[in-house]
């Protein structure tokens, strides 16, 4: 892995995969694991990149607030929140290699974040003011786990921001668009055409109309 600036965010540097990294082997089944987890943490995803851009442009979003980066991957969003002035940042990531990458990336960017390597989505809302979820709607199963948790966070008075390039399981009817940016997506060639990705505020579910 090479420590490189994020293409759309020169302020943040992440350990980044390159052809010589050999991380393809991580897609082979590991001892004690039923299914290999792709190394999502090795890349900055479009959803996380736009959330990070939004936080850099509007630091008041996080200044003095306790922030949870849910599905943190590389830690791009949480690291950005810490650099922008969040009082406390927790990053939740279920991939054990991702947990290691999060720690290295935080140190590389000179910030302190607390890393939780367990699935907290079955639990109660954490003691934070803001949840940031970058690119977590890429898979139906993941989306179905995360949405009830985000709803419990909203019910507890926690703000929820989502960054997403329009993945298949994005709950569009529940989102209010705050900003759009053009950023490269994961896996795109360096000079490939890019499409806008959005930063959204998650809205509470409206009660059914009784009529």
Provide the binding-site residues for ligand SAM, judged by CB under 6 A.
40-41, 44-45, 47-48, 70-74, 76-77, 92-95, 98, 119, 121, 134-136, 138, 142, 145
Question: What are the structure tokens assigned to 8, written together?
Answer: 């759309």
Query: Do 159 and 128 form a contact (C-beta atoms < 8 A)?
Result: no
Residue closer to ligand SAM (CB basis): 141 or 211: 141
Least distance to ligand SAM, CB of residue 186, Å: 7
Chain centroid, CA 173 distance in Å: 20
Least distance to ligand SAM, CB of residue 199, Å: 12
Least distance to ligand SAM, CB of residue 118, Å: 8
- Name which of 166, 178, 169 is nearest 202 in CA terms: 178
Q: Say how far apart CA 52 and CA 108 lie, in whole Å.
A: 16
Q: Say how far apart CA 58 and CA 80 lie, in whole Å.
A: 11
Residue closer to ligand SAM (CB basis): 146 or 154: 146
Residue closer to ligand SAM (CB basis): 76 or 111: 76
Residue closer to ligand SAM (CB basis): 80 or 154: 80
Residue closer to ligand SAM (CB basis): 8 or 74: 74
For 114, phi and psi rounded to 5 degrees?
-95, 130
SS (H, E, C) 62-121: CCCCEEEEECCCCCHHHHHHHHHCCCEEEEECCCHHHHHHHHHHHHHCCCCCEEECCCCC
- Closest residue by beta carbon to ligand SAM: 48
Neighbouring-strand partners of residue 2: 16
Least distance to ligand SAM, CB of residue 173, Å: 21
Least distance to ligand SAM, CB of residue 15, Å: 13
Least distance to ligand SAM, CB of residue 211, Å: 37
């Amino acid at each position: 892995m090479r420590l490189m600036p994020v293409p759309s965010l020169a302020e943040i540097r992440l350990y980044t995969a390159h052809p010589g990294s050999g991380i393809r082997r991580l897609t082979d089944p590991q001892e004690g694991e039923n299914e290999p987890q792709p190394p999502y943490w090795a890349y900055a995803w479009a959803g996380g990149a736009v959330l990070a851009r939004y936080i850099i442009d509007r630091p008041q979003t996080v200044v003095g607030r306790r922030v949870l980066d849910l599905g943190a991957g590389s830690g791009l969003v949480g690291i950005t929140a810490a650099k922008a002035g969040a009082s406390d940042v927790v990053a939740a990531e279920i991939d054990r290699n991702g947990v290691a990458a999060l720690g290295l990336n935080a140190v590389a960017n000179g910030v302190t974040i607390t890393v939780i390597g367990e699935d907290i989505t079955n639990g109660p809302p954490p003691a934070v003011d803001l949840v940031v979820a970058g690119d977590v709607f890429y898979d139906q199963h993941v989306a179905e786990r995360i949405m009830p948790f985000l709803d419990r966070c909203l019910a507890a008075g926690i703000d929820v921001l989502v960054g997403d390039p329009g993945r298949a399981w994005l709950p569009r009817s529940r989102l209010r668009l705050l900003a759009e940016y053009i950023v490269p997506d994961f896996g795109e060639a360096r000079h490939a055409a890019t499409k806008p990705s959005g930063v959204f505020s998650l809205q509470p579910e409206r009660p059914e109309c009784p009529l």
